Amino acid sequence: MKAVTNEMPAIFEDLADVRKESFIRMKNLKDSGTNVVGTFCTYTPKEILYAGNIVTVNLCGVSEEPIPAAEKDLPANLCPLIKSSYGHAITDTCPFFYFSDMILGETTCDGKKKMFEILNSEVKETFIMMLPQTYKFESGIPLYISEMERLIERIEEKFNIKITEDDLRRAIHQSNEDRKNFSSLLEMSKLVPAPFKGMDMVNILEAYDFTFSSEEKNELVEEAREKAIARYEEIKDDPVANKRKRILLTGGPNTGVKNKLVTILEDANIDIVAIDACNGIKERQDLIDETLPPLEALARKYMNVGCSVMTWNDRRIKDMGDMIEDYKIDGVVECVLQACHTFQIEARRVRKFVQEEKNLPYIAISTDYSTADYGQISTRLNAFVEML
Ligand code: BJ8
C-alpha cells in the first residue's frame, strides 16, 4: 500500500501544460487539507462525497504509456482503459491517483472490478460498490441504497466526518444546478450550424471532468458559452457551415482515442454535435429528484443511466433516438474499446436501430490506445464520410 503525501513526484513535471494546470489545482487542494476520492464511473453517486466536502477526480486512464507496465500483471487482451488506469496506479504516473486518499469503484464490467480488487489489496484503499446490473426492475433500488449506506459509513470513518441528510440535500441541489448549467451548454450544439467544431465538444467534456468545484465548473461553462455564441454569430449565414454533416458519437469512453477518431472526423469537416458516451450528455440529462429521500433519489437517478453494462439497456436506444432527432444527426459513429465485451456486443443492436429504424449511416470503430491503426481508421472513417 502506498502512503499519500503532498509531495509531487518529479515525473509529473514532464506532463502536458494543460493537464498540469489541473494537477497544480489538485495539489493546492491537498495542501489545504481537502480530502480527495478517485472515481472511475458515471454510476458513482458523487453527491455523497460532495456532501462530505470531498473532492472527486476521474481516474480513467487515457494514455498508452503505462500499458506495458500493466501487462506484467494483467492480461494483454484487456480493455485499454483498464490497463492504462492500472498502469498509472502502479507506476505513480497519474498525479490524480497519487493524490487520491481513497478510490471508489463499482462492479460494472469484469475487468474493472477485478482490477479494483488488486488495487485495494496492493496499491491503495479501493471501496468497491456493488452495482445492480439492471435498471429494469425495482429490485436494484434497495441494493444500490444499501451500498450507498455502506459507502457513507466507510467515508465517515475514514475521514472522521459526519454526513447528514441536510448535507446530502444540499449536495444534490448543487449538483442539479451544475447539471442544468452544463446541459444547457452542450445543448447549444442543437443549433445549425453547430457552434462547436469536432474536437471542441470532446475537449470541453474532458476539461469539465477536471474541475473540482461548482465555481470552476461555472467559469468553464460560461467561457465556453461565450466562445460558442461568438462562433455561431460568425458562421450562421455561411452556406458551407450550414451544410456540414452532423455526427452522433456513441459507444464507450472516447477520451483515450480522441486523437484518432475525433481528429480524423474533424479533418474531414464533420461536426460532432452530440456525444452519448458516459462523458457526454447521457448522465446529465436527468436531474436528481429533490422531493424524494436523498438516497432513494440518488438510486433512482443513477440506476437509470443507459450504459452497456446493464442488461436490457433500452434506455440507451431511447436516448439515442431522441438525440438523433433533436440534434439533426446525419450519421452515427460508435467507438468501442478493444476487449470491451458489453459495448462490442451491444453495437449490433445499435447498428440495427440506426440503420433500420432511423435510416442513417452507422459505423463501429473498435480500437485501443495505440497509434498503429490510425491509417486504417482514417480510411474507414473517410469512406463513411463519403456516404453521408
Ligand atoms: S457508465 S461506460 S464509465 S461502465 S472499462 S465497460 S470500456 S471494458 S468504462 Fe464505463 Fe461506467 Fe459505463 Fe461509463 Fe468496457 Fe473498458 Fe469496462 Fe469500460
Cell of 90: 502502479
Whether the predicted pLDDT of 13 surpasses 50: no
Q: Is the pLDDT of residue 386 over 80?
A: yes
In the three-class reduction of DSSP (H, G, I as helix; E, B as strand; rest coil), residue 38 is classed as strand
pLDDT of residue 152: 98
CA-to-CA distance for 80 and 297, rounded, in angstroms? 33
Q: How far is the centre of ligand 1, averaged over its atoms, from the C-alpha of 32 (Å)? A: 32
Res 6: pLDDT: 54
Helix, strand, coil share of the chain (percent; to 5)? 55, 10, 35
Report whether residue 342 contacts ligand 1, using a CB cutoff of 6 Å.
Answer: yes
Domain locations in the chain as residue ranges: 10-166, 195-387
pLDDT in tens, 182-226: 999 999 999 999 998 878 888 888 889 889 999 999 999 999 999
Architecture of the domain made up of 10-166: 3-Layer(aba) Sandwich (3.40)
CATH level 3 topology of 195-387: Rossmann fold (3.40.50)
Q: Whose CA is nearest to atom 14 of ligand 1?
A: 340
DSSP label of 190: G
340: CB partners within 8 A, 6+ apart: 79, 81, 109, 252, 308
Enter the DSSP assignment of 35.
-
| C-alpha closest to that of 381 among 251, 264, 255, 253 | 264
Give the whole-angstrom CA distance, residue 87 versus residue 13: 18
The predicted structure's pLDDT at residue 21? 80
Q: Are 371 and 260 in contact (CB under 8 A)?
A: yes
Q: Do 10-166 and 195-387 have matching folds?
A: yes
**Digit-coded pLDDT (tens) for 143-170:** 999 999 999 999 999 999 999 999 999 9
Average pLDDT on 253-282 reads 90
Residue 23: the pLDDT is 86
Phi, psi of 180 (to 5 degrees): -60, -45
Alpha-helical (H) ranges within the chain are 17-31, 46-51, 67-70, 80-91, 95-99, 110-118, 140-159, 165-186, 198-209, 214-235, 239-243, 258-267, 294-302, 314-326, 341-352, 374-387
pLDDT tops 80 at residue 96? yes
What residue owns the CA closest to ligand 1's atom 16?
109
Binding site membership of 282 for ligand 1 (Cβ less than 6 Å): no
**258 CA to centre of ligand 1 in angstroms:** 16
CA of 328 to the centre of ligand 1 (A): 27
